[in-house]
Amino acid sequence: MKGKFITFEGVEGCGKSTQTRLLKEFLENKNIDVLATREPGGPKISEMIRKLLLDPENKEMLPETEMLLYMASRSQHTGEWILPALNSGKFVICDRFYDSTIAYQGAARNLDRKMIDMIRVYATYGLEPDLTILIDTPAEVGLSRISGRAIDRLEQESLSFHKKVRQGYLDIAKAEPERFLVIDGEQEIGAIQEDIRNKILEIMR
């Protein structure tokens, strides 16, 4: 049996992490085996790459290096954790996956989309999410929610950068409506989770 692969996407402060946690609880209460994970990160090597990527000291990092490091982290994560979990029948919920690269490095940093697509197919062994949940939130709202906490290298980018990220996500969702569930991130946490659960129940039927 092959499990389902669900990814969460959105701008900083959109509430993905909370929703990932709530969905994990919901599935586990139904006795479903779940791997909840995040990108960049997961296994040891991917977490080491995460540190490099998010360290605010690494100001000189070039967009190409950045994109390739996200992909390298993803490749290890997919091969070491995600594919084995799916193959053993688990539900995998991942906080960010390759759509983050398309939105951040593609739409916001202006790297070539064709190149990103080529490398992401290679890095993920062709794996694509069964469902991607985009928690759509205006960049200003998301950034105001994270103000006050220590922010990483990407979060330090300008408001116009984060606006491009949001638009990048909306464009991908528009191009792939069958894979995406777009949810209004300005709703209450409970209402957002309810939309997510309804969609998951539909997929499981």
Interface residues toward ligand TMP, by CB under 6 A: 12, 38-40, 54, 70, 96, 100-101, 104-105, 154-155
Burial class (CB within 10 angstroms; exposed 0-12, middle 13-18, buried 19+) of 123: buried
Q: Which is nearer to ligand TMP, 17 or 32 (CB)?
A: 17
Q: Which is nearer to ligand TMP, 124 or 193 (CB)?
A: 124
* Minimum distance of ligand TMP from residue 164's CB (angstroms): 12
* Minimum distance of ligand TMP from residue 20's CB (angstroms): 10
Q: Which is nearer to ligand TMP, 3 or 40 (CB)?
A: 40
Q: Which is nearer to ligand TMP, 32 or 63 (CB)?
A: 63
